[in-house]
Amino acid sequence: MHDFDEVGVPERPDRHWRHRMTEYWVRRALAYQDRGIDLLLTGQSPLGEVLAAPSAPLLDGIAVCLIDVADGVRRDRLTARDVGRWDAAAVDAFLGWAAWHRRHAYDPRHRPDVVTNGSWSEMVWHRWTGWTAEDPRWCTHLLDTTGQPVAKSVDHVQRWVTEQRDTHRSGRLPLSHSWPDKSIFPTDRRASST
């Protein structure tokens, strides 16, 4: 288990930095994969950024969980943490980022420009930008921790990790092996079953 920011964060992190670091972490995951070890990475990179990282198709499997909390709780936590750092504009921006994450988790067509515009040139956005919310590969589990004790939230995450490992082992993880290959998941799944 690693945190995205543990390798250091520049004073003014930008989109390019986040994209480069997403690729860095994908490569770290590949090194673990070669040793038969899973990587659980915490951070703020949404599914679209992970899938667009240059080395992402080399991963045996990808599963994403958005751990969320109600905006009021998030606002209270931010203003209580690092007093003076989070002025009203910074808190509002953070809440806007969280709201975008929620919508992006459900629908890849929700404002992809937020991550694609002005991005690091190595990102491969076309891997998913044509997908819809109905595509089985577009799968982010949402875990709302509002009003939950930390221990219960930890239990939910542990259960989710176990479920994803089992799903991967059974060959049913949507983002495993040839996930970028569009022929595997036709646009109209009903047509493919007749």
In order along its 194 residues, the chain shows pLDDT tens digits of: 999 999 898 888 888 899 999 999 999 999 999 999 999 999 988 999 999 999 999 999 999 999 999 999 988 888 887 777 778 888 888 899 999 999 999 999 999 999 999 999 999 999 999 999 999 999 999 999 999 999 999 999 999 999 999 999 999 999 997 788 754 444 433 333 33
Q: Is residue 44 part of a domain?
A: yes
What pTM did the predictor assign? 0.86
For residue 43, give both structure tokens.
């951070």
Task: Tell me the residue range of the domain where 80 lies.
Answer: 2-188
What is the 8-class DSSP label of residue 62? -
Q: Is residue 115 part of a domain?
A: yes
Q: Is residue 193 part of a domain?
A: no
Q: Is residue 108 part of a domain?
A: yes
Q: Is residue 60 part of a domain?
A: yes
Q: Is residue 163 part of a domain?
A: yes
Q: Is residue 90 part of a domain?
A: yes
Domain count, the chain: 1
What is the 8-class DSSP label of residue 174? T
Q: Count of alpha carbons within 13 Å of 69, Cβ hemisphere only?
A: 15
The total of other beta-carbon atoms located within 10 Å of residue 162's CB is 10
Q: Is residue 194 part of a domain?
A: no
For residue 70, give both structure tokens.
């109600």
